[in-house]
Amino acid sequence: MTKLPTNSPTDFCVAFIKRELEDNREKNIWASGRPIMQRLIDQASNLERVFNELITQFGYADKLAILYESERTNAEAVWLTLEHIWMSGDFAKEEFIQARTNRRELLKLQEDISELSCRLAGMLRRQRELYELSGFRRHDYQTAVGSLVQGAKHNYLFGAYVKSELESLACQYDLKYWPSRADVVEAIGKFEELQPMPQHAEIPDAVLDGRVSDHKDFVLAFDARFDDLNQLPIGFRFSNQAMADIINVVLDLPEDKLILGDTIRTIRNRYIVVK
């Protein structure tokens, strides 16, 4: 294994990224991140502040050159933070627009399911009432257990392991011990009604709730990953200008569209608490 240079943070980080890029190409993995990795290498001079802050915080820690267990934390911090940078292209505007669209649809479905289940439960109760009081006879009667059995008709595992035991229980206990179909349908609606706002596994609420902005969305999503339960260093933040440098390179912004640290400062002060 070739030892990574420790003469400067930039040389160390560039060598690290080159090694990871070559490994990814050999294994044919992480294809989506390779163009950004190459851009980090090609534009390393524009990322000197980023690399300096990372190495100043965690040292020249190489995940492949850990001699003592005490070195592991810093080595993982350097590795995973650099990986976080080259994978942050996922924080593109299109990703957030789709996430906002999906959340709106989920909320509408949640509302509709609750409303429709309430209506359906009422219809089922009225139907039962009419059959019981109007003199009309029903050809067959479906219980909640019967609904489960019929719904699992094509579920082999249910048929093989659950069906006979469930039907046996249904025979042992009178209908008064079981919920009605209307009760079950109503419970589905109540469950949906009580569900909190859908939360995305990677995109923070501040991004989904706010107005569309490439820069704001990127910063909030990027910083939020350092607050999640993962192996990234908890609470770590690049400086405002370093964060701007990352965005400029990762998003490959043209010279007339480059953002400055003041833009990042405004975003962080407005939407999040800097730790």
pLDDT digits (tens, 9 = 90+) for 45-75: 999 999 999 999 999 999 999 989 999 999 9
105 and 79 both lie in a single domain: no
The three-class DSSP label of residue 225 is: coil
Q: Are residues 157 and 226 in the same domain?
A: no
> Is residue 181 situated within a structural domain?
yes
Task: Please check whether residue 200 lies inside any domain of the structure.
Answer: no
The tally of domains found in the chain comes to 2
Q: Is position 208 within any domain?
A: no
pLDDT in tens, 218-265: 898 899 899 988 889 999 999 999 999 999 999 888 898 899 999 999
* Residue corresponding to tokens 């596994």: 201
Nearest Cα neighbor of 65 from 52, 79, 86, 51 is 79
Does residue 3 sit within a domain? no
Q: Same domain, yes or no, for 173 and 222?
A: no
pLDDT on residue 126: 95
Domain range for 224 is 9-86+215-267
Whether residues 189 and 99 share a domain: the answer is yes
CA dihedral 50, 52, 53, 56 (to 10 degrees): 160
Cα 116 from Cα 144, distance rounded (Å): 18
Mean pLDDT, to the nearest integer, of 18-41? Answer: 94
Which of 101, 54, 98, 83 minimizes the C-alpha distance to 242?
Answer: 54
Residue 273 has pLDDT above 60, yes or no: no
Q: What confidence tens digit (pLDDT) does each residue in 79-113 have? A: 999 999 999 887 766 676 777 788 889 999 999 99
Tell me: do 103 and 185 sit in the same domain: yes
3-state SS class at 68: coil
In single-letter form, the type of residue at position 200 comes to H
| C-alpha to C-alpha distance for 67 and 204, rounded to whole angstroms | 37
Report the C-alpha gap between 35 and 178 in whole angstroms.
59
Pull the structure tokens for residue 3. 């030892």
Residue 210: the pLDDT is: 55
Contact in structure between 48 and 246 (CB atoms under 8 Å): no
SS3 state of residue 211:
coil
Q: Is the pTM of this model over 0.85?
A: no
CA 142/CA 181 separation, integer angstroms: 8
Question: How far, in Å, CA of 199 to CA of 99, rounded?
Answer: 10
- Torsional sign, CA 206, 207, 210, 216: positive
Same domain membership, residue 159 and residue 69:
no
- Is 145 part of a structural domain of the chain? yes
Q: Which two tokens stand for residue 95?
A: 């990703």
Encoded tokens for 268: 């962080």
Q: Are residues 34 and 78 in the same domain?
A: yes
Does any domain span residue 242?
Answer: yes
Which pLDDT score, from 0 to 100, does residue 274 have? 43
